[in-house]
Amino acid sequence: MGFGGSSGKGVRSDINITPLVDVVLVLLIIFMVMTPVPLNELKLTVPDKEETVADTATPPDQIVVSVTKQGSLAINREPVESTALLARMQTILDGRPAKEKAVFFDVDDDANYGQVVDAMDSCRGAGARVLGIMTR
């Protein structure tokens, strides 16, 4: 009975990690394929407005910023340049209490949403507490 007592060749205690590496790489490839690729666009669908009988005129105490598809801005139908929006909003919002510092946005469907986000940032920087998007 040879148990290999003093021959110099002992029991090999190494772990063969090649199959483990193969399994890990296969799992890595599977997870890379299954992970969705993030899209760098903003998809926004504004809900349709319910039909009303009365004309909805903007009360003078509400602030509505309009953004057209040509890129022009207006505050309560008064045209304003995008560079002057922050200063103009600060003057409008300064005398208002905190709960009345709401700004609503009337945005064309084909408007540049980057410009809309910039306008929202300017209004937030001017002190607006609530930002809302109007529907048509």
- pLDDT per residue over 76-117, tens digit each? 889 999 888 899 999 988 888 878 888 999 998 888 888 889
Domains of the chain: which residue ranges? 63-133
Contact 90, 56 (CB under 8 A): no
Output the pLDDT for position 95: 81
Output the pLDDT for position 47: 74
Q: Which two tokens stand for residue 52?
A: 């009303």
Output the pLDDT for position 14: 79
Output the pLDDT for position 48: 75
Q: Are strands 130-133 and 102-107 parallel, antiparallel or unpaired?
A: parallel
- Which of 39, 40, 49, 38 minimizes the C-alpha distance to 109? 49
Q: Are strands 63-67 and 102-107 parallel, antiparallel or unpaired?
A: parallel
- Which among 1-15, 42-56, 113-127 has the top mean pLDDT? 113-127
- The pTM assigned to this predicted structure is 0.55
Q: Does domain 63-133 have CATH number 3.30.420.270?
A: yes
Output the pLDDT for position 7: 59
Reported as a single tens digit per residue, the pLDDT across 35-80 is 877 766 666 677 777 665 555 554 457 899 999 889 899 998 899 9
Output the pLDDT for position 65: 92
Residue 115 burial (CB count, 10 A):
16
Supply the Cα-derived Rg of the chain in whole angstroms: 32
